[in-house]
Structure 1
């Protein structure tokens, strides 16, 4: 048996141990709570710092974005279109000397070793050009005439457009009249395009249209396809002119077949698709370019103007009306032979001429939904070009029918 003193001692020790355990437990709990509070505080500060950094980054990105948008929407001209001074253009053209006049108000010039075509115009027309189409250099297609730059004087309404130079002039110069009028000062000569050259020109133009209609995004409707707006370089590669200028020739009245309305673009009557007569520009689709291109095909085949008079008659006849009459006649083959450009003589494939005439007829169909699209046209023309005999072209480029320019040095 333990003495009472022993019980008392054990009880005191047990009590002290319990107090120590309770105290330790309380200390641990308080220490953990303190650390948790500190961690929460630090975490809050860390989150705030992260949020602040994200906010600053967001502001920075937004600022960059706004600066980019501001730059893109500013009135500055795109970097791919150069700004020329009037002094540079005066030097390039010898003060717009008449000997440098190409046609109308377009002059030939030389600047930094490069040949240029410089068109005199006004600031109102320049303001209507779709410069956004020239912001991306990929839009410089080999079958589209490049707009190289602009010039405004600031002292008057005069303005100038600077284009790449097409040494062999326009398709119209070669097709109508059968001679090259002024191709870096070609002498007037009885020069005709060969059949091979004509087919390749057709394919070049169709390829340019295919690019505008089906490759560009958004697609682009030219609205002014005609032989005068198709230019030939030194190798007779064809390029479409007036690209990006569909807004520049609006508000001209027309009248044909009793219909009157607003001409949506500057274009000869013979190139205007029938669905446009008496209607506004809202009626325009890619098919109007195909129609006009079909008329160009008919010009290339026949050597005739889009609007001409019937033999022994006073009325004017459109080329699309004439080809319909020919192709629907009982002796279509013979009539087509008679209709083919005299400048070709017998130096062409009649089968290819029939195929080209049928393609042209499809392009000028009065129903726009029945006209082929640009890709279909390119496919058909590519087949015709692939069937050409390469040796023929050089043989036909001899003598009076030569399509090589006679250059006169001045």
Structure 2
């Protein structure tokens, strides 16, 4: 195997179906050609490293990014790193503080109690496509849904939601660069959007400190616990993380999910007949078509041995989640979409201390979205297969998903 295989994986020509390349990569569980990242592609090795304290998520620990074809593609936010890109103890402190207003044990029902609101948002979006001969599921459904959810979660005033949507779309575009666009212009537009969003959130945080409500932003800005209170910059970086990471992954999960269901009409019909099937379907989708394909630029804090290969301190790692999810040594018949699959401990939402913070919300959003699409769309069908994909190899999903249906059920 040569380094070209890693470049093929991130090459746009492979975006519609990277899985044969992942199969090839798994033949060398720890691949390195002497210049570039170490690519880890088998399930058990990836799972072990996600739980290994000798692996860092802090880019400042990288000794070199030479030869890494994804180096430099992460956009600067002009904010301190979110806890996603920090190591303990800073990671643990910020994650604990963020979790207090988001989930158990302090806020055990916050996500569950959003179920009715999620149904309302989904119903409104599906109502909006009625009478349309050609529907772009991404632009008309998958993109606006999670941004609206994040707005409601944070407590963005309804009248400000359109501005928030615009900023989110601009930032999302910066994560999915157009190769034909002017990089300087794209960078300037993205930077301006991030600065405007940052200033808006900073104002909202100060307002919530003066007059807190029951939204998550109020709690991030004011609640005191054993770890103290978040600074304004920490609350800003955490809010931006909830927007960008939560939004991007959910868009891909819903869009990849609907694409997979339309390619598997029996599973779509089963979901239409039994809404409870949305739970195992989403879990199988997280294995079969994960919204995050790989975790780049993880770093070794010391020399470590993986599958008989010594990886030196400061090396860059790519943890190939999507390859691990289809490892035949872990999953039987891994290239088959099977909603009845048992023992489905996938890597679709990561694992260990950096497992997806928003996983409960992402799961619920996808379950509600796919369940309602299956129930309400009459004879839905793909108009283009494969659809056009996004440029981004890490956050993989269709940029557009053109579909048609005969009618919309009430």
From the two aligned structures, give the one with the greater strand fraction: 1
TM-score band by shorter chain is: under 0.3
**Greater gyration radius:** 1
Give the number of the structure with larger relative contact order, counting CA–CA contacts within 8 Å between residues 6 or more apart: 2
TM-score (norm 1): 0.24
After TM superposition, the score normalised by the length of structure 2 is 0.24
